Amino acid sequence: MFTYTLRRAGALIPVLLVVSIVVFSLGWLAPGDPARIVLGPEALEADIQKLRDSMGLNETLWYRYLDWISDALRGDLGTSYFLNMPVSTAIGQHFGPTVQLAVLTIIYALVISVPLGTLAARWRGSGFDQGIAGFTLIGLTFPSFVLSLILVIVFSVWLRCLPVAGYRDLFSDPFNGLRYLILPALSLGTIYAALITRTVRASVLDVLKSEYVDAARSRGVSENRLLFAHALRNAGLPIITMIGLSFASLLSGAVVAESIFNIPGIGSLLVNAIERRDYPVLQGVVLFLTLIYLGLNLLVDLLYGIIDPRVRLTGTVAK
């Protein structure tokens, strides 16, 4: 297990190197002089030069990259041009709402998808199964931002039962916090609900075909017990993978939903940074989200290795 962990983690090093170069070049390719952006259009030339020196902008590119990466490794992602705080602090402040939204979305997706997928496998080929297939297709062809706008029209404009946009903290005001998060979670979660439903249906079907299910059936185990106690439990592995991957992609996929619903999360931080040309924040957020994604991905891989020892030997996960 230890060598497996090392090997999986080691494979990430070249990936991280390339990611760091890409993220660094975002700041370097950006138009305009950072010192001039910080000081504003009416700054004196001498002041700008002084700031350029202290920001290290007069050094060679190579040196600046090494400087940036060694800072980043220590958790220092630079200082925002506009927020008057380190980028890492800004990310910390905005991470809470994003995580709340992501957790709520996953819960919604699971509550919908596990029963639906299992039952679709139970009544394979029936009208119910066809209906589920239709639902998953709709869930997958509607881009989440289109879906969220349609949900806003239906629930906030026509039915007037949910707020259009906004955010309340879930812990200090659970009732209103939930009211504000329902629509974002619905619009983001539907695509995952559709995906997980497909995974659940496929893997339950796989298990139902196996011989021990036949054996249990011939012993007289009831069909429902067979489905939930035998099939669903053993179909868990692909489902866990799917949940892990979904959660990881949710954190970055929430960018659009957050800006539609004015949720002060990582996505809003990113969109505001783009509007204000705040490149350190832009770089920091891209790096942070990519790292989170790669980290969670690694975690899923390792979990796989723990649950299924065969994976450790071949080294790759059959997805």
**Contacts to other proteins by CB under 8 A:** 14-19, 21-23, 26, 29-31, 136, 140-143, 145-146, 149-150, 152-153, 156-158, 164, 191, 194-195, 198, 201-202, 245, 248-250, 252-253, 255-256, 259-260, 270-271, 274-275, 277, 279, 282, 286, 289-290, 293-294, 297, 319
How many Å apart are CA 310 and CA 307, to the nearest integer? Answer: 9
Nearer to other proteins, 182 or 221 (CB): 182
| Strand, helix or coil for residue 168 | coil
Quote the least distance from Cβ 72 to other proteins, whole Å. 15
Quote the least distance from Cβ 153 to other proteins, whole Å. 4
Tokens of 206: 């796989």
Quote the least distance from Cβ 171 to other proteins, whole Å. 27
Nearer to other proteins, 196 or 227 (CB): 196
How many Å apart are CA 276 and CA 40, to the nearest integer? Answer: 12
Nearer to other proteins, 135 or 216 (CB): 135
Quote the least distance from Cβ 15 to other proteins, whole Å. 5
* Burial call 219-239: b when 16+ CB within 10 Å, e when fewer: eeeeeeebbeebbbebbeebb
Nearer to other proteins, 122 or 201 (CB): 201
Nearer to other proteins, 104 or 282 (CB): 282
CA–centroid distance for 250 within its chain: 3
* Burial call 153-187: b when 16+ CB within 10 Å, e when fewer: eebeeeeeeebeeebbebeeeeeebeebbbbbbbb
Nearer to other proteins, 14 or 220 (CB): 14
Quote the least distance from Cβ 230 to other proteins, whole Å. 21
CA distances from 206 to 114, 235, 247, 298, 308 (A): 15, 8, 25, 26, 17
Paired with 79 in beta bridges are 86
Quote the least distance from Cβ 47 to other proteins, whole Å. 26
